Amino acid sequence: MKKLLCPLFALLIVLSLSTAAFAADYSAEESANALYELGLFQGTGETANGKPIYSLDAAPTRAQAVTMLVRLLGKEAEAKAGTWTVPFSDLADWARPYVGYAYANGLTNGLSAERFGSDDKVTANQYLTFILRALGYSSERDFQWDKANAFSDSLGLTHGEYRASRSFTRGDTARISYAALAQARKDSSETLAAQLVRQGAVKAKTAAECGLVLAADSGGFLNIAGSRYTLQNADGKYLAASGDALTLSDKPFAWYALPAAGDSFTLRPDNKRAYMLDVSNAWFEEGNRVGICDGTGHDAQHWKLYQSGKDTWQLVCSLHPELALSASSGGAALQKRGNAGTNWQLTLVGTERDNYMEIEGRSDVITMRLEHRVLDVLSRARLQKWVNDLETAYADYAELTGWTPYRHVYLNMLAPETNWGYAGKDGVIQIDADDIYEDLSLNFARRKNDWNFGLLHELSHLFEADSRPWDFHAEVLADYKLAYVMTKNNCAAVPADWYNDKKEYTGWDVIDVYRGDGPLKDTLTIFSLCGKLSEVMKEIGWDAAKQTFRSYPDTTNLTPEENFTLFISLLSQYSGKDVRAMFTDAEWANAMKVGSL
């Protein structure tokens, strides 16, 4: 694969790929998935869950092939809105706008003066001719339409697979179309993908995640999330991971860039994706060590790329862009950006954007990223409702505590993690891909109003960011606030251990869930203490808690037990009831061990 090229315009940098390798690297289904996510390809229908049915083994007609071409070029709306004059008498009404647009723009001709061949099966040479014309080549001057495969091979768009006569399928159109996006247009360095981004037909962010372009902000920072890359220094050595240390290797070593907050990303060893590039001890100083660590959600694991030269890039700390990664035979450390040792050559190994989808909440507060396989168990409509419900929960947490920690929250469910999940200090929640798939398979498909206990719990953790003064125990408080969401919305949220229980457990049934560990008088657990606190809130109402969170004093020097006592005292003050008296002596004795949890 070729290295990245220079900017085409201020906010876009094109990724130039070897299209022969690009076409070979992706299967028909991967190509169709990526095109679908880009909005350039449709299925022949959908499953009951809204998963597109691509019918990749079907042989498309010429009319269908032209329709695919028009969609690939981002011109479907224009085609449907136009009035087209065509000489062909064999066009169905649905095909007329697509053929009309393609004919008017020199992308297709008929089989004769009056016959388009609408229902004839399209051949490889015919579809390649459509694509080559879209790239600016002429079937009169540059190539012969019946030998389009040979010309396509010479450009690297295809690589010999269409030389022999064989059936041509929708899967073939998907692979050719996806490869065409990485192909430069005639007499230009601009790829078809870059053109579509420039014209507004494709989002730069999604194209970047597919490895087709790199979207950059006005400061020159680049987005490479969703793809795999190697990084090579000026001496030809590759950045590699060995245990928890970084090294330089003579052999290519692939890194996987996973989306983080905003335009930043985490960089993970492709062979060990639960771990990521990490600034040691989150100490952002020149000379500090950079290594490999499991996920913490800290800014020390968030990176951006900055173009430092025509073919060189710097891997910089997301919130400290003055510092960049520099590696030597002795390891890796932070150096001031501009140091020669911080320059890297970047090479695309492959993209995985075809493996996941993004669902945005209706309030544009939460972005959920999850694998396509989830559509095997849940519909898109159900997933959309879930994201909307989580946005409601986020707003409710803000209503309860009186503050909003992040303007936008990202839920990543794309990779293996060392734990079920965790909330970072950046508004990003990472969830293990296999664990969430199991959760959704076992629970969501049966409980129609379940908001997912685990995600509500991690979402609640975001409100302990910046060490809030009420934080006598983060896990207890996370589930305490979760009870507010459940009781306010009368929704269900069942922990994984309860999936075999047939009861819905909505609203105040959360008390029964928390009692599952036993009563507080007998045992101190996170759930038993939350169960008691939920009983208290059912008695006094949540308004007292809202006032408590908003008026909490500084607790820097308090022990967890002293802080819990203060929390109960404030609930008493704002409810007008003696909350301490609602605890038996045995319950209070166990609560006074909260620091040991």
Q: Looking at the structure, do residues 58 and 108 belong to the same domain, yes or no? A: yes
Q: List Cβ neighbours of 590 (8 Å cut-off, separation of 6 or more).
A: 520, 521, 523, 524, 528, 529
Q: Looking at the structure, do residues 33 and 177 belong to the same domain, yes or no? A: yes
Element (H, E) at 325: strand 323-328
Q: What angle do CA 241, 277, 407 make, to 5 degrees?
A: 160
Q: Looking at the structure, do residues 341 and 464 belong to the same domain, yes or no? A: no
Question: 451 with 469: CB under 8 angstroms?
Answer: no
Does 525 map to a domain?
Answer: yes
Question: 33 with 39: CB under 8 angstroms?
Answer: no
Q: Looking at the structure, do residues 217 and 245 belong to the same domain, yes or no? A: yes
Nearest of 71, 1, 23 to residue 176 by alpha carbon? 23
Q: Looking at the structure, do residues 257 and 341 belong to the same domain, yes or no? A: yes
Q: Looking at the structure, do residues 118 and 264 belong to the same domain, yes or no? A: no
Domain count, the chain: 3
| DSSP code string of 136-173 | T--TTTT--GGGHHHHHHHHTS--STTSS-----HHHH
Q: What is the pLDDT of residue 354?
A: 67
CATH of the domain at 347: 2.80.10.50
Query: How far is Cα 367 from Cα 339, in angstroms, rounded to an integer?
Result: 36
Handedness of CA 289, 292, 293, 297 (dihedral sign): positive
Does 310 map to a domain?
Answer: yes
User: Where a domain ends, among 152, 187, 222?
Assistant: 187
Q: Looking at the structure, do residues 343 and 447 belong to the same domain, yes or no? A: no
Query: How far is Cα 489 from Cα 471, in angstroms, rounded to an integer?
Result: 25
Provide the phi-psi class of 464: left if phi over 0, else alpha when psi is between -120 and 50, else beta: alpha
Query: How far is Cα 56 from Cα 173, in angstroms, rounded to an integer?
Result: 9
Does 224 map to a domain?
Answer: yes
Query: Exposed, middle or buried by CB within 10 Å (0-12, 13-18, 19+), for 413?
Result: buried
Q: List Cβ neighbours of 568 (8 Å cut-off, separation of 6 or more).
A: 579, 580
Query: How far is Cα 343 from Cα 488, in angstroms, rounded to an integer?
Result: 53
Does 369 map to a domain?
Answer: no
pLDDT in single tens digits along all 597 residues of the chain = 222 222 222 234 444 333 334 444 678 988 898 899 899 999 898 887 778 899 999 999 999 999 999 999 999 999 999 999 999 999 999 999 999 999 999 999 999 999 999 999 999 999 999 999 999 999 999 999 999 999 999 999 998 999 988 899 999 999 999 999 989 999 988 889 989 988 999 987 788 777 776 544 444 555 566 678 889 998 999 999 988 889 999 999 999 888 777 778 889 998 888 889 999 988 999 999 999 998 776 778 999 888 888 778 899 998 899 999 998 767 899 999 988 789 998 887 766 666 788 898 999 899 998 988 888 888 888 889 999 999 999 999 999 999 999 888 989 998 888 889 988 777 889 999 999 998 888 776 556 678 999 999 999 999 987 778 888 999 999 999 999 999 999 998 887 766 666 677 889 999 998 998 899 999 999 999 999 999 999 999 999 999 999 999 988 789 999 999 999 999 999 999 999 999 999 999 999 999 999
State which residues form the domain around 264: 206-354
Q: Looking at the structure, do residues 181 and 277 belong to the same domain, yes or no? A: no
Task: Give 3-state DSSP helix, strand, coil % of the chain, rounded to 5.
Answer: 40, 20, 40
Q: What is the pLDDT of residue 46?
A: 84
Q: What is the pLDDT of residue 479?
A: 95
CA-CA distances (angstroms) from residue 497 to 31, 146, 264, 409, 433? 38, 63, 35, 27, 18
Q: Looking at the structure, do residues 240 and 276 belong to the same domain, yes or no? A: yes
Handedness of CA 190, 233, 303, 352 (dihedral sign): positive
Q: Name the H helices within 45-89.
A: 62-72, 76-81
Query: How far is Cα 183 from Cα 170, in angstroms, rounded to an integer?
Result: 20
Q: Looking at the structure, do residues 97 and 217 belong to the same domain, yes or no? A: no
Question: 210 with 354: CB under 8 angstroms?
Answer: yes
Cα dihedral value 122, 127, 129, 133, nearest 10:
130
CA-CA distances (angstroms) from residue 465 to 67, 244, 389, 425? 50, 27, 22, 6
